[in-house]
Structure 1
Amino acid sequence: MRNNWWKKAVIYQVYPKSFCDSNADGIGDLNGIKSKLPYLKELGVDAIWLSPIYLSPQVDNGYDVQDYYKIDPMFGTNEEMYALIERAHEMGIKVIMDFVANHTSDQAYWFQESRKSRTNPYSDYYIWRDAGPNGEAPNNWGSNFGGSAWTWDETRQQYYLHYYASEQPDLNWENPKVRQAIYDVMKFWKEKGVDGWRLDVITSISKDTNFPDNPQPLTTSNQQNGPRMHEFLHELNKNVFTPYDMMTVGEAPASKAADASLLVDPKREELDMVFTFEHMHIDRKENDINGRWALQKPNFVELKSTLSEWQKQLRDRGWNALYFENHDRARVISRWGNDTKYRYESATAFATVLHGLQGTPFIYQGEEIGMTNADYSLADYDDIELKGNYQFFVKEQKTISEADFLKAVGKVSRDHARTPMQWNVSKNAGFSEATPWLKVNSNYKEINVDADRLSTKSIFKYYQKLIQLRHREEILTKGSYELLLADHPSLFVYRRKLKDKTWLVVANLTDTTQTFNVSEFIKGDYKFILKNYAKPESSPALRPFEAYIIEY
């Protein structure tokens, strides 16, 4: 019988490069994380998920792995990782590692060997194809970072496939030796005490080996959920996840609620949870050539519909992973909320909505103090995706103006999540004594851990209460879910029910007062379980970003 500890857990994502620098080199590290475990214990989280810390050239901030067995010296040593795991366990905190199984770095030994010839032992570890009649790429598939998904290799005289940067060649999961190599790495880290895995773009591991063209050149529509995906995931589960009792959450970019149970239904023995992208696209123009940079006003009716459909489809057939922020997502209050006048209110409103749902909530570092997007100029950004897309869409394709692109970047660039953690008012926000690898957000003197915990409107303390509710109240993990006011453009209202207990979760997701009369939903007495305004409004209304949970 597996231990499903994660169903009552709250997991905190650490982006190691930006969390805490212990050796004054401008880069966060493992000893820095270890020094902050008491802070995470105080917050109340059950586990930490570490973004990749393996040896890497850092072309894509560690998602280009050179050696899965070795910790990158910028973060520390293997022994320091083992010590971090041991200390976390002593404090009752589990450790989740990020695993990149779809691709490696082009500097990995496997790839360096693979490119040497078509007959060596590693020749079939990656996806190689001959050029077309005129030297062209094998098909019109696109990279998620812009341009073609194929790069010509002079040494081997073939193209190799890469869904991301050309320095991130995709592994060939059709090769059983590749799969076994992956299992061996996971078993190694399990022996060191790791409790589970976040699996990067895991639904991309199977490719359609017929390599059909995409309807639109240099897009990615035929490149997800390949024909052997479920087979590979089941095999992973049988070889590693179940026998070693490891929690798994897979990044599943193309997953929809209707088919998500195929990935997470326990009877199928694949994954425990998946991260969907669906609810994070409510401010993206559908099918626009400029992808994530084509923005619109957030559609909260769509947000409610999507999250509710996931609640419905996975009820008794799997488990939800709940998030608004991670290392790939900008700060939600800057993106959909109000990060100035109503920063506390919007941070706690979005948190209330998310943590009231059935599933495992994930908190991204800084989310618990209401960190915001940075006020950067183009030169301040570091992200390879942004730079590649700028070159492709603005300079080459000319499908979006530079002004519109930069406006979108200010809302959704991944670097907004990667700015150094803001601990206090000291130099570089207390993150490092040296110049940080990425510029600190200029608002760190107003927004930091020390200031927030002393504030009468502390986001940290609100998160503590949400986490305590998750641990204490079975209604959150087992209760039914019912969406109310489905078509209201501004209010997110839903009901959770378990036995004779009923909760109403209410949030105004706008900065304008909305008419709302709780007596239309509740007859008789009720009590507040949690609220983000000190005093209830006397009139039937919800103030800007007002949120609460009531029991009746």
Structure 2
Amino acid sequence: MKKSLFPFFVITLLCATAAYAQRGPEWLKNAVIYHIYPSSFQDSDGDGIGDLEGIRSRLDYVKACGFNTIWLSPVFESPFEDGGYDITDYYKVDPRFGTNTQLVELIRDAHAKGIRICLDLVAGHTSDKHPWFRQSRSADTNLQYSDYYIWSDSKSSLPTKKFVKSDAPRNGNFLKNYFEVQPALNYGYAHPDPDEPWQQGYDDPGPRAVRQEIRNIMAFWMDKGVDGFRCDMAMSLVKNDDRNHTATVRLWHEMREWIDARYPECILISEWSQPGEAIPAGFHVDLIIHNGAGYDMYSPLVCNTDDKNRPTVCYFDRAGEGQIRSFVDRYTKERHATREQGYLSMPTCSHDIWRLNRNQRNTPEELKVTMTFFLLMPWIPTVYYGEEIGMRNIEDAPIKEGSFARRNRSSCRTPMQWDTTPNAGFSTADATNIFLPVDPDPARPTVAAQTDDPHSLLSYARGLLALRAATPALGTSGDWRYVSDPNHPYPMVYAREYAGEKYIVVLNPSAQRATAQFPEEGAVADIVYGSGVPARYTVRKDLASVKAEPVSATVLRMK
């Protein structure tokens, strides 16, 4: 088995900036993403599982909310041992969701309504039921897909804890990427060990073939109208990489150059949660989630327990005991490093992490304050389905399709709540046959109850998105400054500015009145949006004072 060494070079931030001074297609700067977990959104055929036709039937709702981009969790063929993130055919829609033609029709109808569609690309691994992997198990190691995966060279060799003991005819054991049913695709080793001849280099034939396969997959779907991909576990591809992910950065840099040349209107979104690495690597958007940079940014703001369900202190909590310093420092750093190259996005939550309506944070008033933060920062907003109506995290939802991974991920995957009909309008199937049980609370929030209620969370979120769309200073083009003292966390006060317009956003999620003082930012022209009793802004001797009432959000336009 031939082996080559990765030709190392330093990809500096300066070089990356020069390569990607263009942030991407023009439409991206105004993107507002709605993340749909397909099994849970809308069932159109009564089998109890959400599908593509169900999503297509709800496009008008998505548009009316103010979203213009949909990210779909995986819809490809899968045995669903990890919720679809274990794929057996990247070129075929799983029958539970529909057909390839139905996906093309969904894309066509979405585009007609001004909505773009991004798919989830699981690039790091496949299912162990995938035909590629089944062939790679063969004792003959010179078949087409023999080198698509990483195998040690003997049954007695388990080089790391991530190797899985195999009963395959092949004399070796395979490397998993996450669960044991998810063998890692072979992108090569950044530093192949000469004493381990089974480790292939980045430029060896196997890794080159896998990279070409990923390009083929993306081209197949982009040729059918797909607008981009969210790339799962994007930082994990090249093995034995250095701490700066130099080899993996090279890989995505090459992918971005290819996309820019062939599909310049399409985008790449990374699950990397390290914008300073992901965006220079070539991603248009990096998702800040509950790990990586999210340890400083996302988790301290909204996670009110750890993975073992032990209570933790967070900022968006009525107790008012949280801190904001780690978010301000890390966000300032990440934004400064990447703002001319790409975009950050911090989702409200996702298929992997708890909903905002969880435990003691459970009232519409609290959720409005939190939603104001997520929708008026200069990143690209990403809202998980149901967050716009305040769906509850269902702690005791049954474990299904591999949903337990450090936490019960079923808790945030329960069916969308449309109305008061059986199964909350999600499905006409018997309640015992639907994908996951609907929130059993008779008072559960629904789209129908909130649509025409001007005081509802849904109406509030729609208003925020409309304000953002109409106000460049509140979008991705606007500058951002943290105005209040981050060592005195409540209230949170930041400024948004663009082309001579300035807005001050004041957020107080705590149950106590809070005051902030800072150098004056001008006079208030008017209060343009908010929830609860509006904050009071006064100026005396060049020092501004903001008094924020409990559980309140205020957006001020300045003169």
Question: Same fold judged by TM-score > 0.5?
Answer: yes
**Cα-to-partner distance string for 1:344-368 (whole Å, 9 max, x where unaligned):** 1221111111222112111110011
Question: Is 1:351 the counterpart of 2:371 in the alignment?
Answer: yes
The answer on 1:432 being equivalent to 2:432 is no
SS in 2 for 1:57: coil
- Assess if the C-alpha contact under 8 Å between 1:514 and 1:543 holds in 2: yes
**Residue in 1 that maps onto 2:356:** 332
1:418 maps to: 413
Over 3 Å counting, the alpha-carbon distance change for 1:205 and 1:241 in structure 2 is farther
Q: In structure 2, do the counterparts of structure 1 residues 424 and 521 end up closer, same or farther at CA, with 3 Å as the change threshold?
A: farther
- 2:284 corresponds in structure 1 to 272
1:263 aligns with 2:273: no
Cα root mean square deviation, aligned: 2.7
CA distance in 1, matches of 2:533, 2:549: 12
Q: Which deviations, in whole Å up to 9, do the C-alpha atoms of 1:428-457 show, x marking residues without a partner?
A: 111011131111111364311111223342
Residues 1:139 and 2:139 are matched in the alignment: no
Q: How does 1:398-413 map to 2 (within 5 A)?
A: 413=408
Among 208, 225, 229, the alignment partner of 1:197 is 229
Cα displacement (A) at 1:225: 6.1
**1:203-261 Cα distance to aligned partner (Å, 9 max, x none):** 1111117xxxxxxxxxxxx8x864410111011112235421211110004x2xxxx34
Match of residue 446, structure 1, among 444, 454, 462: 444
Cα 1:170/1:82, change in 2 over 3 Å: same
CA contact (8 A) 1:208 1:226 kept: no
Alignment partner, residue 321 of structure 1 = 345
Q: String of CA shifts for 1:43-68, please: whole Å, max 9, x gaps.
A: 12111111100000000111001000
Quick one: structure 1 residues 149 and 463, their matched pair in 2 at CA, closer, same or farther if it must change by over 3 Å?
A: farther
| 1:458 aligned partner | 456
Is the aligned partner of 1:228 residue 2:227? no
Match of 1:282 in 2: 300
Q: What residue number does 1:297 align with?
A: 313
Alpha-carbon deviation of 1:462? 1.5
When residues 202 and 33 of structure 1 are mapped into structure 2, their CA distance, relative to the original with a 3 A threshold, is same
In the alignment, what sits opposite 1:20? 42
Give, in whole Å, the separation in 2 of the partners of 1:354 and 1:545.
Answer: 16
- Cα deviation digits, residues 50-109 of structure 1 (max 9, x gap): 110000000011100100011000001111111111111111111111111111111111
Question: Which amino acid is the alignment partner of residue 12 of structure 1?
Answer: Y
- Give yes or no for contact 1:383–1:414 (8 Å, CA) kept in 2: no
Separation in 2, partners of 1:116, 1:151? 15
1:239 corresponds to which of 258, 262, 280: 258
Q: Which range is displaced more, 16-25 or 440-449?
A: 440-449
Percent identity reads 31
Higher mean alpha-carbon deviation, 349-358 vs 360-369, is at 349-358
Indicate the SS of the match to 2:343: coil
Contact 1:284 1:295 in 2 (8 A): no
Displacement, 1:480?
1.8
Question: Which blocks of at least 5 consecutive residues in structure 2 are unaligned?
Answer: 1-21, 189-206, 315-321, 539-545
CA gap of 1:520–1:271, structure 2 versus 1, over 3 A, is closer
Superposition pairs of residues 464-543 of structure 1, within 5 angstroms: 464-475=462-473, 476-483=475-482, 484-510=484-510, 512-516=511-515, 521-533=520-532, 541-543=547-549
| Range 353-362 or range 72-81, more displaced | 353-362
Give the 3 Å change call, closer, same or farther, for CA 513–131 of structure 1 in structure 2.
farther
Cα distance, 1:541 vs structure 2 = 4.0
Counterpart of 2:96 in structure 1 is: 74
Question: Compared with structure 1, are the counterparts of its residues 291 and 225 closer, same or farther at alpha carbon in structure 2 (3 Å cutoff)?
Answer: farther
Residue in 1 that maps onto 2:138: 116
1:149 touches 1:164 (CA, 8 Å); kept in 2? no
Tell me how far 1:371 sits from its aligned partner: 0.8
Instruction: Give 1:197 shift.
Output: 0.9
Question: Which one-letter code corresponds to 1:455 in the other structure?
Answer: D
CA distance in 2, matches of 1:506, 1:5: 29
CA distance change for structure 1 residues 226 and 3 in 2, over 3 Å: closer, same or farther?
closer
- Conserved 8 A contact 1:353-1:506: no
Partner letter of residue 252 of structure 1?
W
Secondary structure of the residue that 1:328 maps to in structure 2?
coil
Distance of 2:128 and 2:395 partners within structure 1: 33
Give the one of 3, 18, 25 matched to 1:3: 25
Structure having the higher helix fraction is: 1
Match of 2:171 among 139, 157, 164: 157
Tell me the equivalent position of 1:100.
122
In 2, Cα distance between equivalents of 1:16 and 1:230? 30
Q: Deviation at 1:201?
A: 0.8
Measured against aligned partners, the alpha-carbon deviations of 1:390-413 in whole angstroms (never above 9, x if no partner) come to xxxxxxxxxxxxxxxxxxx5xxx3
Distance 1:455 1:127, change over 3 A: same
Seen in structure 2, the aligned counterparts of structure 1 residues 29 and 451 have a Cα distance that, compared at 3 Å, is same
Work out which of the residue numbers 542, 545, 554 in structure 2 matches 1:548. Answer: 554
- TM-aligned CA distance change 1:280 to 1:444, over 3 Å: farther
Number of corresponding residues: 489
Secondary structure at 1:332 match in 2: coil
